[in-house]
């Protein structure tokens, strides 16, 4: 970093916007470790979401063949185009605009979009992602069945990738300082570690069940019947064949949900 982020903000007369999750990384050692963890090769294309003042972007550009950065705030998009001309800066909302093909994602994510962004990422082909999340969110990503943090997110992440918390990053590594610590997380896609007949149906069953994670499977499915069956009657017809139906949703492993989804398949079809 040539100039400290606080000073750049002052010079540009920019006040960070809370609504866009603007907490800038001011600890250059964390930025270096972040980029190291991504293990970028010289032929890689890297996608960064929310480059802000370019603390990570600059380091990424030194290592990658090509860096594409998607930034929602026009003030930063303009600043980056000028200060890092080799980087392709796209101004827009990373949740809605089309992403280019990429090998690696490295980003300090705005916390408001962590969940939809992660689900969107997991549906794309890529080799590795190293992302900064709020600490609690990262804990939910790796949570095990039966724990308070276990959620639709934990199941979705487990189904599609390996996921590891690399380090806890204290809140004072950012400006303005957020209220909670962060975590650097590495995701690497891999095939589901258990058989899934129909991934779309699996995701629909996960969505329906986790609307009511404390209910039993059968009651959860009754509440969410629209997502998994053509009618209530069709669901009731198949329920006796559904395994684990008296267990609570929050206690089911991703594999067990897979067996439920396969049994439900008959109700939908």
Residues contributing to the site for ligand SAM (CB under 6 A): 20-25, 49-53, 55-56, 70-73, 76, 93-95, 108, 110, 113
SS3 percent helix, strand, coil of the chain, rounded to 5, is 45, 20, 35
Q: Tell me how far, at minimum, the Cβ of 141 lies from ligand SAM, in Å.
A: 17
Contact between residue 79 and residue 53 where contact means Cβ atoms under 8 Å apart = yes
- 44 versus 73: smaller Cβ distance to ligand SAM: 73
Q: Count Cβ atoms within 10 A of the Cβ of residue 106 and give its class: 0-12 exposed, 13-18 middle, 19 or more buried.
A: buried
As measured in angstroms, the least distance from the Cβ of 85 to ligand SAM is 18
Token digits of residue 242? 């559904």
Contacts of 44 (CB under 8 A, 6+ apart): 63, 64, 65, 103, 104, 127
For residues 71 and 262, which CB has a smaller minimum distance to ligand SAM in the complex? 71
Residue number with CB closer to ligand SAM (59 or 227): 59
Pick between residue 53 and residue 229 the one whose CB is nearest to ligand SAM: 53
The residue among 91 and 198 lying less far from ligand SAM, judged by its C-beta, is: 91
Q: CA dist 170 to 16, 29, 53, 109, 134, Å?
A: 19, 12, 20, 15, 10
CB of 204 to ligand SAM, least distance (A): 26
CB 43 → ligand SAM: shortest distance, Å? 24
Query: Could you give the dihedral angle defined by the CA atoms of residues 193, 123, 139 and 107, in that order, rounded to the nearest 10 degrees?
Result: 130
For residue 7, the minimal CB distance to ligand SAM (Å) is 14
Return the residue nearest ligand SAM (CB atom): 50
């Amino acid at each position: 970093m040539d100039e400290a982020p606080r000073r750049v903000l002052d010079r540009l007369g920019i006040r960070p916007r809370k609504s866009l999750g603007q907490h800038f990384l001011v600890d250059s050692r964390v930025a270096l470790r972040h980029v190291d963890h991504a293990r970028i090769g010289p032929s890689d294309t890297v996608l960064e979401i929310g480059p802000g003042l370019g603390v990570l972007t600059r380091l990424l550009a030194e290592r990658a063949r090509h860096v594409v950065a998607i930034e929602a705030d026009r003030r930063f998009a303009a600043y980056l185009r000028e200060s890092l001309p080799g980087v392709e800066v796209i101004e827009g909302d990373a949740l809605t605009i089309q992403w280019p093909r990429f090998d690696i994602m490295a980003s300090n994510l705005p916390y408001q979009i962590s969940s939809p962004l992660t689900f969107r990422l997991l549906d794309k082909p890529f080799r590795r992602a190293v992302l900064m999340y709020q600490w609690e969110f990262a804990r939910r990503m790796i949570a095990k069945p039966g724990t308070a943090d276990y959620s639709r997110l934990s199941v979705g992440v487990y189904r599609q990738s390996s996921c590891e918390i690399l380090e806890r990053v204290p809140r004072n590594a950012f400006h303005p300082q957020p209220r909670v610590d962060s975590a650097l997380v590495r995701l690497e896609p891999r095939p589901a570690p258990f058989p899934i007949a129909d991934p779309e149906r699996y995701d629909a069953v996960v969505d329906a069940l986790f609307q009511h994670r404390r209910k039993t499977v059968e009651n959860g499915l009754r509440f969410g019947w629209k997502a998994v069956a053509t009618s209530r009657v069709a669901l009731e017809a198949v329920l006796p064949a559904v395994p684990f139906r008296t267990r609570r949703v929050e206690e089911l492993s991703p594999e067990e949900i897979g067996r439920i989804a396969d049994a439900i398949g008959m109700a939908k079809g």
